[in-house]
Amino acid sequence: MTAELSMTLAILLPLIGGGIILAVGRSPNLREAVTIVTSLLLFADIFWLAQSGVVGSNPTMTWAEPIQGLTIAFTLEPLGLLFAIIASTLWVLTSLYSIGYMRANKELKQTRFYTCFAVAISATMGIALAGNLLTLFIFYEALTISTYPLVTHKGTLEARNAGRIYLGILIGTSISFLLFAIIWTWNIAGTLDFVKGGILEGHIEGPFVGLLLGMYVFGIGKAALMPVHRWLPAAMVAPTPVSALLHAVAVVKAGVFSVLKIAVYIFGVGFLADTGVSIWLAYVAAATILIASIIAMTKDNLKARLAYSTISQLSYVILGAMLATGIGVIGSGMHIAMHAVGKITLFFCAGAIYTALHKTEISDMDGIGRLMPWTMGAFFIGALSIIGLPPLGGAWSKWYLALGAAEADQLILIAVLMISSLLNVAYLLPIPARAFFLPLKDEPSLENLDGVAAPKVTRREAPLIMVIPLCLTALGCLFLFAYAGAIYDLLAPLAG
């Protein structure tokens, strides 16, 4: 097993798995087995890649040369490895969760769901391993296209309209801004490779640097920087497993990952710091953090609140990238991991609540802690991680982001981070608090999933296959607190 083979497998395994899923779609159990096996194989592959330590030598591989001088090439480097680890690990858990969710809610068109999921993961791996901007762009667009059927899964009018916003914003920004910025970069730098220290130094100066950077950051619509954020709440119309992995982990993380990669490997941290052009974007990110948090507080729909929370948290990563300091970059990378695990826990819980109790609005969720102690317990842990309190992982990433802001002399941004934590408390903690400490709102229609009414209020979690993943991700938040050091060591070369 060489590094190149491992990287090739990382992209091809989910793709082949998706093809097999499509072929065996008629036998649900076989199909589900293929999904699980594929996700486990991918996890094993990435695990091998991680523990082999080859990331230090940046192995590369090239697939084709579609344009003279530009190749479809892949390079393994710390950020990409971290992203790949997160995505592959969480795919295993999400596969288990989705099986439970899709069957319990008797969703239609499940084969298409699992197929597109696998293709989307393949695209995510392509983004994680991309060695130049062309490759990144190819898989970025592939991710948009492959997640469209997932977002519009329900096939209703609402889903179709949400799909229009989703596709419209993501393709609109990627074609008008991102592709423009990429070709502009190609034109002035003569290369699109990701190189430590950036490729733009000396080729561009003055206000154009800020303009180019802005085109990149707004062109990467998946990073959900305001005002190109509207697709995220619109995409909540999708089934919760889609929201959980793709929109808490894969799609949005691909966005901020791309922003971070461009900041570090196309512009270069030093170049950005010297020119100081990224600070205006740091402030846009700060504004997004605060505004999205405030909007989150006004939302009664749980998934909508979590969506705006995600928008806010993504801007943490953008903020860290735009601070143009080494420690800020590490904080951003770390936050990609911390937020992913925390947010997926929250979405898993939202799906479990819907599956078990058919509740979607927070105001209906008083007292459900008695019915679903494990779920709400996990929710509480996930919420603490998002808020950024020890002993959960989110504390570390916030810490390093604050250090980055300090190093960049942007004390206002430290204040923004602190205020944001308070806002997070305001919109997240009431949910488990009300669930545990308030009495049940009304006698809910507590039929079993078979339709038989239960005699009295009794514990009723979602199916075990859904509850186990969400407990595991909650434990993950604790685990990451202890092992943040490993992430720090992995990302340290970026700070140089």
Q: Determine if 152 is a binding residue for another protein (CB under 8 A).
A: yes
Q: Which of residues 230-249 bind another protein (CB under 8 A)?
A: none
CB of 370 to another protein, least distance (A): 39
Closest CA to 405 of 315, 319, 338, 287: 319
Tokens of 259: 């922003």
Q: Which of 10, 72, 213, 371 binds another protein (CB under 8 A)?
A: 72
Which residue number, 115 or 293, has a Cβ lying nearer to another protein? 115
Stretch binding another protein (CB under 8 A), from 66-74, 268-276, 298-306, 346-354: 66-74
Gap between the Cα atoms of 69 and 192, Å rounded:
10
Is-contact 355 463, C-beta < 8 A? yes
Is 15 a binding residue for another protein by CB under 8 A? The answer is no
- Site size for another protein, by CB under 8 A? 31
- 186 makes contact with another protein (CB under 8 A): yes
Q: Which stretch binds another protein (CB under 8 A): 11-19, 163-171, 360-368, 403-411?
A: 163-171
CA 335-339-340 angle, 5° bins: 115
171 binds another protein (CB under 8 A): yes
**Span near another protein by CB under 8 A; candidates 7-15, 134-142, 240-248, 439-447:** 134-142
Look at residues 118, 295, 325, 324 and name the one whose alpha carbon lies nearest to residue 224.
Answer: 295
CB of 217 to another protein, least distance (A): 17
**CA trace torsion 316, 321, 323, 327 (10° rounding):** 90
What is the closest distance, in whole angstroms, from the C-beta atom of residue 125 to another protein in the complex? 16
Q: Give the C-alpha separation, 462 to 367, whole Å.
A: 16
User: d(Cα 15, Cα 57) in Å, to the nearest integer?
Assistant: 27
**207 touches another protein (CB under 8 A):** no
Cβ neighbours around 287 below 10 Å, total: 14
Contact criterion met (CB below 8 Å) for 306 and 232: no
Identity of the residue, 163 or 326, whose beta carbon is nearer to another protein in the bound complex:
163
**Between 13 and 182, CB nearer to another protein:** 182
**Is 160 a binder of another protein (CB under 8 A)?**
yes
First-residue to last-residue Cα distance in the chain: 30
Helix axes 394-407, 464-482, angle to 10 degrees: 40
Nearest residue (CB) to another protein, 172 versus 430: 172
| Residue 292: closest CA among 419, 414, 405 | 419
Site membership for another protein, residue 415 (CB under 8 A): no
- And the tokens for 411? 């004390």
- Residue numbers at the binding site for another protein (CB under 8 A): 64, 66-68, 72, 134, 137-138, 141-142, 145, 152, 155-157, 159-160, 163-164, 167-168, 171-172, 175-176, 179-180, 183-184, 186-187
